[in-house]
Structure 1
């Protein structure tokens, strides 16, 4: 009976370069009787070493860290067929680019840092049982990409096929470009795409930087020249 109980415990390693974040997540998870945080690290290289040493069931890792970021860490861990640890990326960003790169690296989940406790625990259990978990609007990004590409999202060739323009704009940036050129304001675009105004401003800044333009007229000319809309 005791062995059966022990087998149900899900062991977890936390990787985040902010100790307050690790403390907060650790305190949250400790309230669950079947979750056990067995280690904490502050960068990707340490995460790899701890996963190899402790073989936890789950690695919860921040997307941006010193030494080695979360996506690169997950990718390296998945290159080792002997490691069975499943990885959940934790991030402040709902960027389509980050999400798709995380999935292609082998992550089983992607959670935003403002995820509530109920969803957080649900994600851990689902991933442990062999499923995938992507919170909120993130799942919609994945589904939309899957249907638009017509390919398995885990196929790394997807990232190459998405580069259908010389500026390597993401699908979200292309959509923002289309709406900007249609005359919509940032506020109107945020309402249409169900993103914050600040997120839309970031996408707009990024696409103009990638296309090397400084105003709407040049943006329109270049978009027309390369048949982007």
Structure 2
């Protein structure tokens, strides 16, 4: 089955460009488009896409609120890929904190667009650039530190979280720690449960905001 994608952007040229790039791939299909975040939830319910490629800044409902609406209302939500102009945009970071799964610049090369969609669809890696890691660390909070302390991660789970924060996939973590991929998946599932994190993005945000991991 191909990866199904819903495109959400108020600029028709952006949607047309993304559609052309993605539909050139045999394993990806664009199943719908929307010009505003207000249309996202009804379309997600109707089309059940695997990935929503969503702009952050839109006139009626922005990508942050649209992300929250989908995650609140859909039992098995799609992966949400934030598409924006600026990598250090606070809106992008807030969208990731709200539950978006990855990040893509509008000026990205076609190959990077395709890679980003495949990556978030797999759920096994993370698009979280250096500028956002720095922003996460700057927003450090006592709450995030308390969450990490209560989680009582094992030493191996801490190792996995550090590598997740660098953006490594399960297979890359397995090679780095000389573990089997299934063992890494087990550690990832365990640490997500302990942190109360929906996915890898939320876990990595907690790691940076708590100071457990520092940029660089």
TM-score when normalising by structure 2: 0.61
The structure with more radius of gyration: 1
- Report the CA distance between 1:44 and its aligned residue: 0.8
Pair 1:84-2:132 in alignment: no
Quick one: distance in 1 between partners of 2:27 and 2:18?
A: 15
| RMSD of equivalent CA atoms | 2.6
Secondary structure of residue in 2 paired with 1:46: helix
In the aligned structure 2, how far is the partner of 1:77 from the partner of 1:26? 22
Structure 1 residues 144 and 13 mapped into 2: Cα distance closer, same or farther (>3 Å)? same
Shift of 1:87: 0.4
Distance 1:11 1:145, change over 3 A: same
> Which runs of 5 or more structure 2 residues have no equivalent in the other structure?
149-200, 211-216
Runs of 5+ unmatched residues, structure 1: 1-6, 163-229
Of the candidates 14, 18, 43, which is equivalent to residue 50 of structure 1? 43
1:154 aligns with 2:202: yes
The reply on whether 1:27 has 2:17 as its aligned counterpart is no
Question: For 2:103, which of 94, 110, 116 is the aligned residue?
Answer: 110
- Aligned equivalents of 1:82 and 1:103: distance in 2? 19
> Distance in 1 between the 2:38 and 2:136 partners?
32
Change (3 A) 1:146 1:44: closer
Query: In the alignment, which residue of structure 2 is the partner of 1:139?
Result: 129
Q: In the alignment, what sits opposite 1:214?
A: none
Maintained 8 Å contact 2:38/2:61: yes
Cα distance per residue 1:147-188 (max 9 Å; x no partner): 563847738x97xx89xxxxxxxxxxxxxxxxxxxxxxxxxx
Could you report, residue by residue, the CA deviation over 1:47-81 in whole angstroms, capped at 9, with x for unpaired residues?
Answer: 21101111100000111112201111011111124
TM-score normalised per structure 1: 0.58
The higher-RCO structure (CA 8 Å, 6+ apart) is 2
Give matches, 1:6-17, under 5 Å.
7=1, 9-17=2-10
Across the two proteins, how many residue pairs are aligned to each other? 149
CA displacement 1:3-30 (0-9 Å, x = unmatched): xxxx2x0000101111111111101111
2:56–2:92 CA contact under 8 A, matched in 1: no
**Residue pair 1:52, 1:83 contacting (<8 A) in 2 also:** no
Aligned with residue 63 of structure 1, among 56, 67, 76? 56
Distance 1:132 1:73, change over 3 A: farther
Offset at 1:131?
3.3
Question: Do the aligned partners of 1:108 and 1:131 also contact (CA within 8 Å) in 2?
Answer: no
- Residue equivalent to 2:33: 40
